[in-house]
Structure 1
Amino acid sequence: MIDILAITSPIFMIIAIGYFAVYRNIVPQSITRGMGAFVMNFALPCLLIRALAQRDLTEVIEPVYLLAYGGGSLLVFAFGYLYALKVAGKGQANATLQGLGMSMCNSGFVGYPVASQVFGPTAEIALALCVIIENLVMMPLVLVLGDSSQNNGQTRMQVLGKAFLNLGRNPIIIGIMIGLVISLSGITLPMPIFKVVDMLASASGPVALFVIGGGLVGLKLKGLRADMARIVSAKLVLHPIAVFVLVYLLPGFDPTLRIACVAFACSPMLSIYPIFGQRYGHEGLCAASLMMATSLSFITISTALWLLDTTSVFGPLP
């Protein structure tokens, strides 16, 4: 367990430093928003370009990984959505947000920095696969269900078409496409260009963690306690278990990727979760859930990695 804490504690120390820096106004929170934009628009796309461009496509696309991560995420989303809608009696927008909070990870800002410490370069492949599921499957699903609840006159197909159109402008998706084109074409990037990509990619992990910490300042732990507890517990416990079961049951693939798939599922929900909440009128619940999940994820991620290493169910950690 000490070895696991040696890996995970620096990650959350950087989050704590980001929180302290913004809390003490050493770094204004508006600056951290700019740093977050840098990560989303430059560092993470470059990370994905670097991960994909240096490998043959057969090394990158792992259908079983996509099926396990995507299947686990969809199952948990369906549980959260239907429970909130049918059992808890919530509206469609609220139910959609609960399903989203339970099933969509902060793979870029928390999952990757943790995984990179454990798995090295393999973490970049795992990140690319997670991003494919999150941006091409989960995000359109959430937008269709959430936006169609607003009664703005658009059909679900119109909402879906608009969602995919917006995804085409997403820098992360553009980064994936550029990386895939380079991989398929066999082009070798000129060294000066590769160096720029590499330097920007290397900045993604620590800057993202600092931004996560700064973003927690000012969030209030308010809202319905039962809803918050359900969202956080499902995200940090149910989602990793669902992905683990599918990884275990589906035909074997690279053991390191199997562990990485579960590790990414242990991450808290995406950092823009409160923005979705604001979009649908439930920002208080989403902000409180994000703060609680991010705080508790240190315990759940460390415990999950320790269990995977101790049991060696997929083999020892690298």
Structure 2
Amino acid sequence: MLDILAITTPVFVLIAVGFGAVRTGLFSTADVRALGRFVIQFALPALLFKTLSQRSFGEIMNLRFILAYLLGSLLACVAAALFARYVKKHAPLSAVFVGMGSSMSNSIFLGLPIALQVIGPVASVIVALVVMVENLLMLPLLLAAAESLGKPGLGLLPALRRIFERLLKNPLVIAISAGFAASLLELAIPAPVARAIDLLSVTSAGVALFVVGGNLVRIPVGGLLGDVGLISFAKLVLHPAAVVLALWLVPGVDPAYQAGAVLIACVPMLSIYPILGQQYGLESLCSAALVATTVASFITVALWIWAVGQAGLLAASAPG
């Protein structure tokens, strides 16, 4: 367990540093937003492109992994949304956001730094595949459902079309597409360009964690204890457990990819969750859930790393 804490503690220390920097006024929330844009638009796209372009197309296009992670995420989403709708008696729109918070990870700012420490460079490939699942499948479906429920008269298909048009301009999606193309065509990146990409990519993990902490300062925490507890439990326990079940139902996934899938599924929800909820008057629920889940994850992430190790997956995927 001490080895596990040696992995998770630096992650949460950097989050605390980011929180403290904004709380004490050393950085403003605008500064943190700028750093977040830097990670999303430059550092992480550079890392994903570098990782994908340097590996064979057959290695990175892992359809079994994509299917298993998608299935696990859908299971967690539907289970949490149905519970919220029919047991907790939430409105349909609120139930959609409970499902979203329960099934979409902060794979970029939290999942990647943790997975890199535990399983090594292959974590970048796994995160790229998860970003594809989340941004091209899960998020469009959930946002389209929210749009059609929150804006009467707007159908599901028109909502999906609008969302896909926005996603195709996403720097992460563009970087992943370019990385896949470079891998498929076996393109050699010129040395000066490759070096510049390296310099950008190494900044992604540390800055991302700092941004997570800085963003927590401006998130209000109110009541809604029962609903927050539901989302936190579903995200930190149900989602990774559903991914484990999906990996069992879809055999043949490499142990390193299995470990990465669980590690990314067990981190808190996507960092823009409160921003998405704000558009529909659900910012209080989403904000409180994000804070509570992030705090609780200090314990639950360590427990999931231990569980993955007990399953023997880390021995087959340890960094070389």
The separation in 1 between residues aligned to 2:186 and 2:309, in whole angstroms, is: 37
Shift of 1:313: 5.8
CA pair 317-191 structure 1, distance change in 2 beyond 3 A: closer
Name the stretch that deviates more: 220-229 or 41-50: 220-229
Distance 1:176 1:317, change over 3 A: closer
CA distance in structure 1 between the partners assigned to 2:151 and 2:27 by the alignment: 41
Q: Give the match for residue 119 of structure 1.
A: 119
Q: Is 1:180 the equivalent of 2:192? A: no
Q: Is the 8 A contact 1:221 1:291 kept in 2?
A: yes
Q: TM (normalized to structure 2)?
A: 0.96
Where do 5+ consecutive residues of structure 1 fail to align? none
User: 1:305 maps to what in 2?
Assistant: 305
Instruction: Note closer, same or farther for the CA distance 1:274–1:94 as it changes in structure 2 (3 Å cut).
Output: same
Partner of 2:102: 102
Distance 1:294 1:79 in 2: 21
Identity of aligned residues (%): 42
Q: CA deviation at 1:317?
A: 5.5
Aligned to 2:148: 148
d(CA) in 2 for partners of 1:221, 1:150? 24
Alignment of 1:225-304 (within 5 A): 225-304=225-304
What TM-score does the superposition give when structure 1 sets the normalisation length? 0.97
State how far apart, in whole Å, the 1-side matches of 2:303 and 2:216 are.
Answer: 23
Secondary structure, in 3 states, of the residue corresponding to 1:25? coil
Match of 2:203 in 1: 203
The residue type paired with residue 239 of structure 1 is H
**Deviation of the 1:67 alpha carbon:** 1.3
* Structure 2 residue identity aligned to 1:93: L
What letter is aligned with 2:256? T
CA distance in 2, matches of 1:128, 1:18: 25
1:204 & 1:232 partners in 2: Cα distance? Answer: 26
Mean CA deviation greater in 126-135 or 250-259: 250-259
Q: CA deviation at 1:20?
A: 0.7
Superposed, 1:151-166 pairs within 5 Å as 151-166=151-166
Alpha-carbon deviation of 1:93?
Answer: 1.7
- How far did 1:27 drift? 1.1
- Contact 2:103/2:235 (CA < 8 Å) preserved in 1? yes
SS in 2 for 1:149: helix
Residues 43 and 203, structure 1, Cα contact 8 Å, conserved in 2? yes
2: CA distance between counterparts of 1:67 and 1:7?
A: 29
| Letter paired with 1:42 | F
Change (3 A) 1:197 1:313: closer
C-alpha deviations, 1:92-132, integer Å up to 9, x for none? 22111100000000000000000011111110111011101
Cα shift readout 1:120-170 (whole Å, capped 9, x = no counterpart): 111011101110100011110111110001235321110011111111111
Counterpart amino acid of residue 244 in structure 2? F
State the partner residue of 1:169: 169
1:21 aligned residue = 21
| Partner AA of 1:23 in structure 2 | R
Preserved CA contact (<8 Å) 1:70 1:133: yes
Q: How big is each residue's C-alpha offset from its partner over 1:15-52, in whole Å with a ceiling of 9 and x where there is no partner? A: 01101111111111110010001111111111110111
Q: In structure 2, what is the equivalent of residue 52 of structure 1?
A: 52
**Between Structure 1 and Structure 2, how many residues are aligned?**
318
Map of 1:80 onto structure 2: 80
Equivalents in 2 of 1:303, 1:228: separation in Å?
21
Q: How many Å separate the matches in 1 of 2:79 and 2:307?
A: 25
Residue of structure 2 in register with 1:62 after alignment:
62
Distance 1:272 1:223 in 2: 20
Residue 41 of structure 1 contacts residue 172 of structure 1 at CA under 8 Å; is this kept in 2? Answer: yes
Q: Which residue of 2 aligns with 1:137?
A: 137
**Counterpart of 2:38?**
38
